[in-house]
Amino acid sequence: MSTIPGSVLERIESTFDSRARRALLWSLAAGVLAVGTFAYANRGGEAQSTGPAHKLPTIAQVEQQKYGDTITPPKHAIGVAQRFIANVVLRHNLLASYADTTEKLRGATMTRAHWATGSIPVVPYVAKDFGKAGIKIERAREKSILLLVLITPKKGSSAPQQDYYLELVPSGGRWLVNYWAPKGRLDAPVPLAKP
């Protein structure tokens, strides 16, 4: 077993005794680490840039995949929405629009009799305060038509103006109301097309 002569060991120890020398060695080590990290990162970047670029889909592509192609909303679909507002939202004739709703909206176990009670998952608007309803088409695709409904109170009423989302989905050659909730309600996200 060889031993390091005392004079050599003393010289190595004396090299690290100086604060300035230790600082210089730490700086040198940090510099080598930084250069190595930079070289490694650039090598990875070059390898990635030679392959095909991965493009994120556009909003239109995502909507097309989820909801189908763009369509002109059929008049009978808008008619279903108008009947729903009059009969269900304003509570004029609940049973008249029971068949215009999906099981998702009313619940799997809700019967026509229960629907007729008015204790339903549809936010109403007080009929005596109703002035008019405006409809704006937010999305019109093969699997989903999303409408923004603006209900304005009649003149002199203290009721608030309110925006609602109404979604229609196709079912058996008809369009049915699949979703109704005030715009901006935290527990009522914008609907997906899953009737």
Report pLDDT digits (tens) over 51-104: 566 788 888 788 888 888 999 999 999 999 999 999 999 999 999 999 999 999
Q: Take residue 109 and report the two structure tokens written for it.
A: 């176990």
Residues 13 and 43 in one domain: yes
Residues 12 and 80 in one domain: no
Stated pTM of the model:
0.65
Residues 85 and 171 in one domain: yes
133 in a structural domain: yes
- Span 152-179, pLDDT tens digits: 999 999 999 999 999 999 999 999 999 9
96 in a structural domain: yes
Residue 190 in this model has a pLDDT that exceeds 60: no
Residues 79 and 165 in one domain: yes
Residues 40 and 71 in one domain: no
> Among residues 94, 104, 97, 81, which one has the least CA distance to residue 151?
81
Note the helical H segments in 51-119. Answer: 59-67, 75-84, 103-106, 112-116
CATH number at residue 73: 3.10.450.540
Confidence of residue 119 (pLDDT cuts 50, 70, 90): very high
- Span 18-38, pLDDT tens digits: 677 777 767 777 777 777 777
Domain of 136 in residue numbering reads as 62-182
